[in-house]
């Protein structure tokens, strides 16, 4: 095919597409007024509400800038972002988008040039190190670290006492000890120690990261077969499944329901669960918080992370400069803002300076007068940094695929080999 | 030599004809032909997101050694082989029952059987999910009847989760197929049945030797459409047995794998396109086999 011919075909196709999309383009250009920063995020009670608070603070000082905060389901934000970036039509993209931390490296790698590097514009040293590391690519830092998923162990101190343990027994324990306590709790109180979906790999992620390991090593190479943390995590998961120390649930609603109905004595997950735990007011004073259990492997700590997200500025955005300044002024500097969102929304930000604020040292009567925020911010500084790589979703799927086999007695070595093979075939 | 007015008259109508269909043709070109050709071109590429390179048949080679693809193919085939025959047989029996002339409340019963397929896919999936959950209605009912001691992990177990999906799609689509059978049965000449009855042929024989042969083209049609539907199965496994962020491996279908490759995993649209073409080829091959098996042999 010669060039002229190819050109004709291309331009005809473009013209046809242009005709079809003309209407949408016109609408989009009308929607974005001068000085309007568009933002995509999910969760109206958390991210959206926090962004509205941030926007309010910024417009008070910069009346020229307005904000359009669009609330969508998390899957919709991800899908819209991914398809639009892939299509190359950047007109409909927002200026700022919320990205879950596990997905960030994938987007940065798959769509080079789509996101604006913020190094030099924002002081990233002010944030938790492990959050900054995962948004660094090729020496440049993209994005602005937002909420953390620092994990902790929430437990019912009344049930634990009934089983013959004190609050002291719950501090800085190992997973094996946790399992022993769980067995006692069930024997004495008839309640299960925790609720879990047998297919969910959240606990494996928590265990792995607490030991500073992931599916990939620091260079992004597969780290499965000789990964002691993953091996120990799978072994622990097998123990859970075989001793039946947990209440099986499926889906978020049932899982949170188990906590609120008082069916289980504990939950180990990210700090973002606090709001859901506190939702059952009748259990006020009965809950307490302790550090995440640790694995019996070298480098294991009592701090980990699950989930969390960060703000990213799109390079194609019209209001790019305003967007960067906004994030820098509020999210990277305004300590008072972090006190507000902690108190109103339970959001633990990853700006290290925010930990010095008053709200962080306040006692919470729901947790028996414990200074829970202080604890979480201390753990946040201890979370080991790992390289999530770009294939975390593939890794999760590979691990989840082996769980039914493990429950039926498959050796852990064999499962590790299967995970390695599946991942190796997916990473091309 | 043809008279001149006729030629220009014809040409006039030809141009008009083309003008009339041009909008439709343009739309078909943009929204059908172009995506099909482009996806074929895409299937020769692989990479991450917009960072792609030409790999030729590399994606097809990758298919052969991809355990997830093989698992998805296996699951899809299990659904196909077990669910489609059960559903079509059930639809046939139901249609024949509802076709009985002396049946009471016929209209009501027909509506009841057809009703599932006008319900929203997501709505019924959510109901099934709650019914089959660990604390759900089904486990409670079975425990109350004394059939089980421990609740069955319907949605988590590799075996039971497939059973739930099969129950769900059978519930939804049996009535749809039944309507085709019912319509076809009403076209069969009643005198054939009368003659058979006079000859003392049993009801079962009448069903096997008169009804089924007369329904052959419709049975072929429903088999082909059900095969296509099952090969594209997505909504039910996605909404009923998917948990959290990871799709359950137990009920992963080819369509869900395509979704994973495009939106959940590192976006690899080229490889996803290749898997889509696997479905196309499977549909084509199975339809051809079904047409061949049901051909007229005279």
The pair of structure tokens assigned to B264 is: 């959940």
Average per-residue pLDDT in chain B?
90
Distance CA A60, CA B66 (A): 55
CB B177 within 8 A of CB B93: no
Mind listing the pLDDT tens digit for each residue in B26-54? 999 999 999 999 999 999 999 888 888 99
What pLDDT does B249 receive?
81
Strands in A200-327 per DSSP E: 246-248, 266-270, 287-290, 305-313
Cross-chain CB nearest to A425 (options B65, B247, B266): B65
Give the 3-state secondary structure percentages of chain B, helix then strand then coil, rounded to 5. Answer: 75, 5, 20
What pLDDT does A244 receive?
87
Q: Which of A331, A327, A329, A299 is nearest to A313 (CA)?
A: A327
The CA–CA distances, whole Å, from B258 to A87, A168, B239, B261, B276 equal 17, 50, 16, 5, 7
CB contact under 8 A, B129 and A111: no
Q: Which residues of B touch A248 (CB under 8 A)?
A: 134, 153, 156
What pLDDT does A357 receive?
83
* Strand, coil or helix: B160: helix
Q: What is the DSSP letter of A352?
A: G
The pair of structure tokens assigned to B253 is: 């279908």
Q: Which of B208, B212, B210 is nearest to B220 (CA)?
A: B212
| Residue A396 touches chain B, beta carbons under 8 Å | yes
CB contact under 8 A, B243 and A251: yes
Spell out a b/e string for A309-331, using b for 16 or more CB atoms within 10 Å of the CB, else e: bbbbbbebbbbbebbbbbbbbbb
The pair of structure tokens assigned to A207 is: 């265990």
At B102, the pLDDT band (50, 70, 90 cuts) reads: confident
Q: Which residue is associated with the tokens 């002229």?
A: A4
Mind listing the pLDDT tens digit for each residue in B112-168? 999 998 999 889 998 999 899 888 899 999 999 999 988 888 888 889 999 999 999
- To test the contact with chain A by mutation, choose from B65, B244, B272 the residue with the greatest count of A C-beta atoms within 10 A, namely B244
Q: CA A257, A258, A259, A265: dihedral to nearest 10 degrees?
A: 180
Q: Which of A196, A212, A206, A214 is nearest to A419 (CA)?
A: A214
| Residue B265 touches chain A, beta carbons under 8 Å | yes
* Strand, coil or helix: A315: coil
| Residue A101 touches chain B, beta carbons under 8 Å | no
Q: Which residues of A touch B30 (CB under 8 A)?
A: 16-17, 20
The CA–CA distances, whole Å, from B273 to A351, B150, B279 equal 42, 44, 10
The CA–CA distances, whole Å, from B168 to A357, B76, B198 equal 53, 15, 42
CB contact under 8 A, A394 and B269: no
Mind listing the pLDDT tens digit for each residue in B180-224? 999 999 999 999 999 999 999 998 999 999 999 999 999 999 999
| Mean pLDDT value across residues B91-103 | 90
Q: Which residues of B touch A391 (CB under 8 A)?
A: 265-266
pLDDT tens digits in sequence order for chain A, 428 residues long: 344 444 444 444 444 444 444 444 444 443 444 589 999 999 888 899 999 999 999 999 999 999 999 999 888 898 899 889 988 888 999 999 999 999 999 999 999 999 999 999 999 999 988 899 889 998 999 999 998 899 999 999 999 999 999 999 999 999 999 999 999 999 999 999 999 988 888 999 999 999 999 999 988 899 999 999 999 999 999 999 888 899 988 777 888 999 999 999 999 999 989 888 998 999 999 999 999 999 999 999 999 999 999 999 999 999 999 999 999 999 999 999 999 999 888 888 889 888 888 888 889 999 999 999 999 989 988 999 898 988 998 999 999 989 989 988 999 999 999 999 999 988 86
Q: Which of B232, B209, B213 is nearest to B282 (CA)?
A: B232
At B4, the pLDDT band (50, 70, 90 cuts) reads: low
Q: Which residues of B touch A74 (CB under 8 A)?
A: none
At B231, the pLDDT band (50, 70, 90 cuts) reads: very high
| Residue B29 touches chain A, beta carbons under 8 Å | yes
Cross-chain CB nearest to B249 (options A394, A400, A425): A400
CB contact under 8 A, B248 and A199: yes
Q: What DSSP string runs through B47-86?
A: EETTEEEE-TTHHHHHHHT-HHHHHHHHHHHHHHHHHHHH
Nearest CA in chain B to A402: B249
Cross-chain CB nearest to A251 (options B129, B264, B265): B129
Q: Which residues of A touch B26 (CB under 8 A)?
A: 16
What pLDDT does B6 receive?
63
Distance CA A149, CA A272 (A): 7
Distance CA B249, CA A399 (A): 10
The CA–CA distances, whole Å, from A217 to A177, A206, A418 equal 28, 16, 18
- To test the contact with chain B by mutation, choose from A203, A260, A402, A426 the residue with the greatest count of B C-beta atoms within 10 A, namely A426
Nearest CA in chain A to B68: A422
CB contact under 8 A, A86 and B157: no
Distance CA B102, CA B253 (A): 43
What pLDDT does B150 receive?
87
The pair of structure tokens assigned to B157 is: 């177990």
What pLDDT does A13 receive?
46
At B254, the pLDDT band (50, 70, 90 cuts) reads: very high
| Residue B124 touches chain A, beta carbons under 8 Å | no
Cross-chain CB nearest to B246 (options A88, A250, A400): A400
* pTM for the model: 0.84
CB A197 within 8 A of CB A251: yes
- Spell out the residues 6+ positions from residue A407 whose beta carbon is closer than 8 angstroms to its own: A198, A238, A241, A242
| Residue A417 touches chain B, beta carbons under 8 Å | no
CB A310 within 8 A of CB A136: no
Q: Which residues of B touch A200 (CB under 8 A)?
A: 243-244, 246
What pLDDT does A253 receive?
81
């Amino acid at each position: 095919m010669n060039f002229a011919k190819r050109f004709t075909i291309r331009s005809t196709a473009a013209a046809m597409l242009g005709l079809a999309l003309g209407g949408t383009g016109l609408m989009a250009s009308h929607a974005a007024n001068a000085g309007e920063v568009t933002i995509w995020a999910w969760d109206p009670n958390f991210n959206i509400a926090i962004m509205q608070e941030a926007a309010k603070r910024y417009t008070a000082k910069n009346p020229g800038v307005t904000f359009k905060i669009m609330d969508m389901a998390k899957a919709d934000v991800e899908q819209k972002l991914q398809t639009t970036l892939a299509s190359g039509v950047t007109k409909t993209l927002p200026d700022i988008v919320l990205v879950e931390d596990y997905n960030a490296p994938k987007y940065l790698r798959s769509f080079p040039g789509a996101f604006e590097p913020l190094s030099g514009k924002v002081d990233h040293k002010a944030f938790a190190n492990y959050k900054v590391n995962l948004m660094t690519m090729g020496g440049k830092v993209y994005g602005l670290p937002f909420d953390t998923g620092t994990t902790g162990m929430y437990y019912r101190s009344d049930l634990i006492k009934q089983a013959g343990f004190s609050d002291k027994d719950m501090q800085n324990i190992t997973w094996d000890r946790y399992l022993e306590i769980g067995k006692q709790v069930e024997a004495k109180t008839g309640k299960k120690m925790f609720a879990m979906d047998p297919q969910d790999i959240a606990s494996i992620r928590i265990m792995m990261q607490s030991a500073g390991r992931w599916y990939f090593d620091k260079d992004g190479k597969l780290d499965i077969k000789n990964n002691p943390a993953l091996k120990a995590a799978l072994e622990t998961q097998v123990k859970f499944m075989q001793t039946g120390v947990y209440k099986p649930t499926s889906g978020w609603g049932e899982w949170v329901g188990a906590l609120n109905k008082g069916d289980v004595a504990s939950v180990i997950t990210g700090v973002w669960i606090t709001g859901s735990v506190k939702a059952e007011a009748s259990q006020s004073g009965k809950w307490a918080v302790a550090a995440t259990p640790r694995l019996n492997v070298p480098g294991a700590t009592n701090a980990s992370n699950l989930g969390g997200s960060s703000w990213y500025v799109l390079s194609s955005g019209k209001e790019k400069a305003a967007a960067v300044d906004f994030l820098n002024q509020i999210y990277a500097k305004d300590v008072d803002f972090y006190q507000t969102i902690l108190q109103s929304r339970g959001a633990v930000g990853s700006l290290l300076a925010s930990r010095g604020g008053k709200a962080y040292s306040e006692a919470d009567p729901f947790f028996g007068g414990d200074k829970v925020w202080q604890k979480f911010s201390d753990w946040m500084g201890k979370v080991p940094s790992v390289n999530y790589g770009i294939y975390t979703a593939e890794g999760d799927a590979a691990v989840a695929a082996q769980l039914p086999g493990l429950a039926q007695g498959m050796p852990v070595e064999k499962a590790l080999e299967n995970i390695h093979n599946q991942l190796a075939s997916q990473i091309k | 030599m043809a008279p001149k007015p006729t030629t220009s008259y014809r040409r006039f109508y030809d141009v008009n004809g083309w003008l009339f269909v041009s909008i439709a043709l343009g739309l078909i070109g943009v929204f059908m032909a172009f995506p099909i050709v482009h996806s074929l071109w895409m299937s020769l590429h692989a990479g991450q997101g917009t960072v792609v390179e030409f790999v030729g048949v590399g994606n097809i080679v990758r298919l052969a050694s991809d355990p997830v693809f093989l698992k998805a193919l296996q699951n899809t085939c299990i659904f196909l082989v077990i669910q489609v025959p059960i559903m079509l047989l059930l639809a046939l029996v139901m249609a024949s029952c509802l076709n009985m002339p002396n049946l009471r409340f016929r209209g009501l019963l027909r509506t009841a059987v057809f009703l599932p397929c006008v319900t929203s896919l997501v709505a019924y999936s959510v109901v099934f999910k709650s019914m089959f959950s660990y604390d759900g209605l089904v486990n409670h009912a079975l425990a109350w009847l004394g059939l089980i001691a421990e609740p069955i992990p319907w949605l988590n177990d590799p075996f039971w989760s497939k059973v739930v999906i099969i129950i769900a799609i059978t519930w939804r689509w049996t009535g749809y197929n039944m309507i085709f059978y019912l319509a076809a049965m009403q076209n069969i000449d009643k005198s054939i049945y009368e003659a058979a009855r006079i000859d003392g042929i049993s009801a079962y024989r009448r069903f096997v030797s008169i009804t089924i042969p007369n329904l052959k083209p419709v049975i072929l049609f429903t088999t082909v459409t059900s095969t296509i539907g099952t090969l594209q199965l997505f909504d039910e496994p996605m909404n009923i047995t998917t948990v959290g962020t990871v799709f359950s491996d137990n009920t992963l279908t080819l369509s869900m794998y395509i979704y994973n490759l495009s939106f959940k995993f590192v976006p690899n649209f080229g490889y996803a396109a290749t898997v889509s073409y696997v479905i196309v080829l499977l549909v084509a091959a199975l339809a051809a086999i079904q047409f061949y098996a049901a051909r007229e042999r005279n």
